[in-house]
Amino acid sequence: MNSGKWIVLLGAPGCGKGTQSELLVNSDFSFKVICVGDILRENLQTVVPQLGKTVGEIIGNGTLLPDAVIVDFVKNAMAKIDDFLNTNLIFDGFPRTLGQAEALLTMTKALGHKISHVINFEIDDDVLVKRITGRSKCKDCGKIYNDYFSKPKISGVCDICGCKEFVRRSDDNETALNKRLSEYYSKTQPLIEFYKNLNLLYSVKADTDTSIVYKNVTEILSR
Ligand SMILES: [Zn+2]
């Protein structure tokens, strides 16, 4: 009777939806993740007949894959999961555009199923900027710190191993972040309106404790 909850998580880079997704996978819901980034990486050599090129060539050129092609990949990945219609699924990194959302709607209808919840992780830009640009990692033990939220007890010295060297991701600077945020807002923000109109949108405040966010998410999913 097709009882799987199929959910979409929306939120700007750094909102913490990856962490929430992991918690849901390991919860009683036993969600499985359909990660479009992974699917595309596995299909770099696959030829897209409409364009006569491989996925790798298309992405390498900076061209977007047609929505229908991405949805086909998603559908194939879903079909590989045993009894997928009755399995709880999280769509990760997808849909990213209105076209993809419409194609997903058509695909789920054709399967006699639907998206049950779209959870939007709300967070202020300045918190995101601090979360991402403030992030550093101990070079030796990998412990994560943040200049604004979780500094080492002694400045410049790792709490765990005493190492004095820290590494930062190269894309953690503010210019790169602003580019990612504006891309997110222009492409993904319209999805919020789209899912609101379908009465599927639920919002969660994401600028608080992981455990509190998680509690709110599971309450929504139990409705
Ligand atoms: Zn350390």
Write down the domain spans for the chain: 6-124+183-222
Superfamily of domain 6-124+183-222: P-loop containing nucleotide triphosphate hydrolases (3.40.50.300)
Low-confidence ranges of the chain (pLDDT < 70): 1, 170-172
Question: What does the pLDDT read at residue 1?
Answer: 54
Predicted local distance difference test score (pLDDT) of residue 182: 85
pLDDT of 85: 94
CA of 89 to the centre of ligand 1 (A): 36
- Amino acid code (one letter) for 183: E
Q: Note the pTM of the prediction, 2 decimals.
A: 0.81
Which pLDDT belongs to residue 83? 93
Look at residue 183 in the predicted model and tell me its pLDDT: 81
* Tokens describing residue 43: 């299909």
Q: Cα of 145 to ligand 1 centre, how many Å?
A: 10
pLDDT score recorded for residue 186: 84
In contact, 80 and 21? CB cutoff 8 Å: no
Q: Cα–Cα distance between 18 and 48 in angstroms, integer?
A: 29
DSSP 141: T
Q: How far does the centroid of ligand 1 lie from the alpha carbon of residue 210, in Å?
A: 23
Q: Taking the chain, what is the end-to-end CA distance rounded to the nearest angstrom?
A: 18
Catalytic annotation, pick one of 169, 187, 205, 223: 169
Whole-number pLDDT of residue 128: 85
